[in-house]
Amino acid sequence: MIYELYYWPEIQGRGEFVRLVLEDAGCEYVDVGREPDGDARLEAVLSGALPGALPFALPALRAGDLVVAQTAAITRFLGERHGLAPDTEAGRLGALTIALTIADLVAEVHDTHHPTSVDDYYEDQKAAAKARAAAFRRARLPKFLGYLERNLERNDGVLVGPAVSYADLAAFQVVEGLSYAFPRAMARLHGEIPKLLALRDRVAQRPRLLRYLTSPRRLPFNEQGIFRRYPELDG
């Protein structure tokens, strides 16, 4: 199986959560947006060129005749196919619960720099963004990270099940992104999330992921994606 990942070529964004699972599982895949005709193919997918339900937004993944959209749905699909999900029904539902909670966190991170309109520039909503980011740093960020920390405490170092799953890879990505976007806020929380930081470090050393993370295929964070480094939003 050679998968086709449909996502924007210039950012990590939500597509990176999918890339991490594909890379860690050793899957063959084509990052369609980085192909010469990538832009046209991405727009075609959003217009309904692939079978199945019409994606509201990217990422989307094609696996033969199957097409899956929504980040958590894609990572669950891949994780359960390739040994990156628990074997039990309870474990699989637990992994999905955590992945969906991380998706909620990612949406709130995006809203720190686009609190009033997704379609307007950050520069047109800076005052609202500053207030939204302050509330996020004060209340929401420690609440989300504390939730992940408590799951790690309950389950002996991984979020769910007996081994690293796609939920742990998602946690790695969100900690990396938050450390880029909010380095000062994250530094203040380090003492409260030791197990989450240790998980981040262990995931980064997984052999296939390490090769990917140190390759040119791992795009750097930038100010077009979800995790954006605006110092004025970091307190």
Where in the chain are the domains? 2-81, 89-206
Q: What is the pLDDT of residue 56?
A: 97
Q: Which CATH number fits domain 89-206: 3.90.110.10, 1.10.260.40, 2.70.70.10, 1.20.1050.10?
A: 1.20.1050.10
Q: What is the pLDDT of residue 1?
A: 87
3-state secondary structure of 5: strand
Q: Which fold has domain 2-81?
A: Glutaredoxin (3.40.30)
CA distances from 123 to 70, 120, 127, 129 (A): 28, 8, 9, 9
211, amino acid identity: R
Those residues with Cβ within 8 angstroms of residue 64's Cβ, 6 or more apart along the chain or in another chain: 1
**Residues of the chain below pLDDT 50:** none
* Rounded Cα–Cα distance for residues 44 and 225 (Å): 22
The whole model's pTM is what? 0.97
